[in-house]
Amino acid sequence: MTAPGLPSLEELMGSLREQDPRLAMVLDVLQAQNPPRNPPQHPPQDRRADRPSAQDGDPDEAIATVIAEAARVEASLREANDLLVSFRAELDDLRRRNDALAAAAGSCYLCWGEDPGCPVCAGRGRPGWHPPERWAYRRYLAPAHGRFVRAAAARARPAPDPDPAKEART
């Protein structure tokens, strides 16, 4: 039974959940692993007289278990948060590169012209949709284009003359 004026355990948990969504996650995990037992069928005074059974367990032990579990959950949350931070950094990096490449290609930075429902280009934003931005073109596409042109020129050149010495032997 709860002393008058003090919140019940359920009220306390509810209030903690509202205050901190991370704590709510912890409580969810704890609750999933240890579903609440059936409420006692008799008043606490009677209960105090009962000898603690194996099922009831030692309250100190139960608290220690909950604390250990909370520490494990906290460690998992920290790990998940670290992962999220690194994903976020990678996403920012990829977005920056995507936007620069789209600017170099004169393409829609959202869909590259592949999404008819795109709010920016309505699917018309393929490369060349608008004039490339000079700085981005020079940085990303001009070197690749130059390399492409040189490789094509090399392929078009006639093959060098065969070795004259080898030719003489045949």
Compute how many residues bind Zn ion; rule: CB under 5 A. Answer: 7
Nearest CB to Zn ion, comparing residues 29 and 110: 110
Nearest CB to Zn ion, comparing residues 25 and 120: 120
Confirm or reject binding of residue 103 to Zn ion (CB under 5 A).
Answer: no
Return the structure tokens found at 27: 């409580």
Binding residue (CB under 5 A) for Zn ion from 110, 130, 133, 140: 110
Q: How far is the CB of 99 from Zn ion (least distance, A)?
A: 12
Return the structure tokens found at 47: 């209960």
Nearest to 70 by CA among 24, 132, 33, 27: 27
Confirm or reject binding of residue 120 to Zn ion (CB under 5 A).
Answer: yes
Confirm or reject binding of residue 102 to Zn ion (CB under 5 A).
Answer: no
E strands within the chain?
none
Q: Note the residues at the interface with Zn ion (CB under 5 A).
A: 108, 110-111, 118, 120-121, 125
